[in-house]
């Protein structure tokens, strides 16, 4: 595996790969890799001949009160994991390579950028979209893989890809879960044992909601019941719990018919967690 820090060097290598007819797959990450990321790498490998994984903790997508400084930076361990996965290129650029003119927003995430995650984390999606756009410009992949766990991120990125990188295929990797059902996340490492149980309890509620909705329960009643239960039994501070239409990423009402997604964000102790679950159909 080649570890490359400079954008120009990566581009030179990838030009060479493309000239040999190799399809380039890309997995953008912020590092602190876990099995969830590695499953995205596996998907990229299945759809491309060479894989680039980027590791860049993007300051533009963190709010002033968020954990940018504390975000885990574990490049040496990450590199070992990627080496085992037979990844060809690890791209770990510095700030000046990603943002030659200094970190400034070049992309806006629009209306969806200010709901749910965007409401809890103002500016997050503009910053995320800016870095994804820049990394896509550098890598110019044939295939890019994002995790379904960040459902709103994938929704927003898919619009960018359709508009600006039309020849690139976007693949969504399913959420990897621990045996308890807790979605894998770089932030799980900060949970105490007790908080971990609370976090697992949130997943249990998502599952119950899915079952109830698929069995015909009303959206509004299901939401009220489980929001209260999560807040009380899981000692979690709920930021949002919603049932959305995945085509437009907006809440559905009790009359909605069709596939849906339950999305949740909660703070358990100091750790902010998100998750989502697909509902096959509501009122089918």
Contact 205, 227 (CB under 8 A): no
Sketch the per residue contact string, 114 through 143, with ligand PAF: x for CB under 6 A, - otherwise.
Answer: --------------x--xx-----------
Map the footprint of ligand PAF across residues 145-164, applying CB under 6 A: 150, 153
In angstroms, the Cα distances linking 43 to 46, 173, 208, 271, 276 are 5, 7, 29, 28, 20
Q: Closest distance between ligand PAF and the C-beta of residue 252, in Å?
A: 25
Residues 6+ apart with CB under 8 A from 19: none
DSSP code, position 59: G
Interface with ligand PAF: number of residues (CB under 6 A)? 10
Q: Closest distance between ligand PAF and the C-beta of residue 136, in Å?
A: 10
Q: Closest distance between ligand PAF and the C-beta of residue 146, in Å?
A: 7
Q: Is 124 a catalytic residue?
A: no
- Identify which range of 23-31, 193-201, 253-261, 270-278 contacts ligand PAF by CB under 6 A: 23-31
In angstroms, the Cα distances linking 13 to 5, 6, 9, 85, 87 are 12, 11, 6, 19, 14
173 binds ligand PAF (CB under 6 A): no
Map the footprint of ligand PAF across residues 55-84, applying CB under 6 A: 58, 61
3-class SS of residue 123: coil
Q: Closest distance between ligand PAF and the C-beta of residue 170, in Å?
A: 12
Q: How far apart are CA 47 and CA 34, in angstroms?
A: 21
Beta carbon nearer to ligand PAF, 41 or 132:
132
34, 37, 205, 226: the catalytic one is 37
97 binds ligand PAF (CB under 6 A): no
Positions in the binding site for ligand PAF (CB under 6 A)? 28-30, 58, 61, 128, 131-132, 150, 153
Q: Catalytic residues, which ones?
A: 37
């Amino acid at each position: 595996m080649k570890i490359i820090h400079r954008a120009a060097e990566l581009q030179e290598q990838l030009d060479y790969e493309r000239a040999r007819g190799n399809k380039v797959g890309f997995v953008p990450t912020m590092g602190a890799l876990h099995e969830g990321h590695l499953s995205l790498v596996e998907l990229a490998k299945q759809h491309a001949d060479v894989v680039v994984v980027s590791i860049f903790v993007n300051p533009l997508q963190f709010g002033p009160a968020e954990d940018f400084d504390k975000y885990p930076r574990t490049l040496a361990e990450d590199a070992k994991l990627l080496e085992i996965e037979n990844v060809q290129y690890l791209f770990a650029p510095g700030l000046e390579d990603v943002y030659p003119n200094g970190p400034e927003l070049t992309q806006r995430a629009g209306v969806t950028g200010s709901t749910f995650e965007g409401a809890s984390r103002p500016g997050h999606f503009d910053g995320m979209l800016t870095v994804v756009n820049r990394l896509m410009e550098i890598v110019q992949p044939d295939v890019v893989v994002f995790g379904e766990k960040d459902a709103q991120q994938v929704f927003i990125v898919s619009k960018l890809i359709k508009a600006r990188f039309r020849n690139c295929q976007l693949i969504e990797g399913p959420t990897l879960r621990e045996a308890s059902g807790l979605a894998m996340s770089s932030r799980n490492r900060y949970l105490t044992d007790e908080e971990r149980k609370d976090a697992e309890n949130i997943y249990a509620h998502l599952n119950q909601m899915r079952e109830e909705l698929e069995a015909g329960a009303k959206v509004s009643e299901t939401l009220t019941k489980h929001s209260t239960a999560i807040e009380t039994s899981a000692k979690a501070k709920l930021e949002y719990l919603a049932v959305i239409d995945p085509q437009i990423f907006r809440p559905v009402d009790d009359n909605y018919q069709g596939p849906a997604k339950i999305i949740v964000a909660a703070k358990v102790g100091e750790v902010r967690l998100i998750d989502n679950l697909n509902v096959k159909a509501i009122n089918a």
